[in-house]
Amino acid sequence: MARDFAGKRALVLGVANKRSIAWAIAQELAAGGATLAFTYQGERIEKSVRDLAATVDTSLVTECDVRSDGDLARVFGEVGEAFGGELDILVHSVAFAHAEDLEGRFTDTPRDRFLLAIDISAYSLVACARAAEPLMEKAGGGSIVTMTYLGGERAVPHYNVMGVAKATLDASVRYLAWDLGRKNIRVNAVSAGPVRTLAARSIAGFPTMEAIVEERAPLHRHVTAEDVGAAAAYLLGDGAVNVTGTTLYVDSGYHSMGM
């Protein structure tokens, strides 16, 4: 059966509002019967995340800035308490680069903002996986999914330092999959085509990117958060029992084209 998450306990990082990819994934998990924990970054979006969390079976909503080791230690402590020391599923759907680094030339990226983008968008997966490891081991195994983008493998104009961060994230998925495989913990990524979310809408030229996908991708249609949620649910579920260290493209086939 598709989407059977009965009795599963999941932690979801990266919900900002109802358009967030993380929220589409959370809804899939909730529909399959999972119990959820959510983190949010900053008081600005706390209410939005609490309101969404209240519509599903939620055990915990707590603040987490993934740059902070202190926040991560507290959050995974709270998750352990909420879920009896166990965790089955981790959804990592977090990325950030300074807006000015997503325009202009990659060449001009200063050191501090290069490191910031990699810290928030890639290292955070490593830190979360390490903190989740004992909880998932106690559960007999687990599944981790993160969100990536083609700009980590090819040069997409203006994606710039985020592309370097996604390349780091993609490699981290493979090394985490190797380390954690012995504990029956799977680690995978979903590579989504452009999806109209909060993080994406503020980007100049986003409608142009959607139009390019609609013109050139084999399926000639743009991607929605719901499409991404369904693919993530597959990787997070028992149907993907022997799938780890890989990337599932939900991009209407765009990545397979050479023109």
Interaction site with ligand 0WE (CB under 6 A): 95-97, 99, 102, 149, 156, 158-159, 162, 194, 199-200, 202-203, 209
Nearer to ligand NAD, 52 or 147 (CB): 147
Assigned token pair, 131: 């903190």
Q: C-beta of 185: minimal distance to ligand 0WE in Å?
A: 25
Binding partner at 56 among ligand 0WE, ligand NAD, none, C-beta below 5 to 8 Å by kind: none
Q: CA 190 to CA 247: how far, in whole Å?
A: 5
How is the beta sheet containing 35-40 ordered, strand by strand? 58-63, 35-40, 9-13, 89-92, 142-148, 185-192, 247-250
Terminal Cα-to-Cα distance of the chain (whole angstroms): 38
Quote the distance between the C-alpha of residue 142 and its chain's center: 16
Nearer to ligand NAD, 60 or 94 (CB): 94
Binding partner at 120 among ligand 0WE, ligand NAD, none, C-beta below 5 to 8 Å by kind: ligand NAD
Q: CA 215 to CA 3: how far, in whole Å?
A: 32
Q: CA 90 to CA 88: how far, in whole Å?
A: 7
Binding partner at 66 among ligand 0WE, ligand NAD, none, C-beta below 5 to 8 Å by kind: ligand NAD
Beta-carbon contacts of 7 under 8 Å, excluding residues fewer than 6 positions away, are 33
Element (H, E) at 144: strand 142-148
Give residue 137's identity as a one-letter amino acid code: E
- Judged by CB under 6 A, the stretch of 50-58, 80-88, 91-99, 133-141 that binds ligand NAD is 91-99
Assigned token pair, 50: 């609490």
Alpha helices in 1-45 (DSSP H): 21-31
Q: What are the catalytic residues? A: 149, 159
Q: CA 172 to CA 245: how far, in whole Å?
A: 9
- Judged by CB under 6 A, the stretch of 74-82, 129-137, 196-204, 211-219 that binds ligand NAD is 196-204
Site string for ligand NAD, 127-146 (x = CB under 6 A): --------------------
Q: C-beta of 75: minimal distance to ligand 0WE in Å?
A: 21
Nearer to ligand NAD, 139 or 223 (CB): 223
Q: Return the ∠ at Cα 133 (arms to 22 and 161), rounded to 5°.
A: 50
Contact between 194 and ligand NAD per CB under 6 A: yes
Quote the distance between the C-alpha of residue 182 and its chain's center: 23
Site string for ligand NAD, 9-48 (x = CB under 6 A): -----xxx---xxx------------------x-------
| Sites of contact with ligand NAD (CB under 6 A) | 14-16, 20-22, 41, 64-67, 93-96, 120, 147, 149, 192, 194-195, 197-200
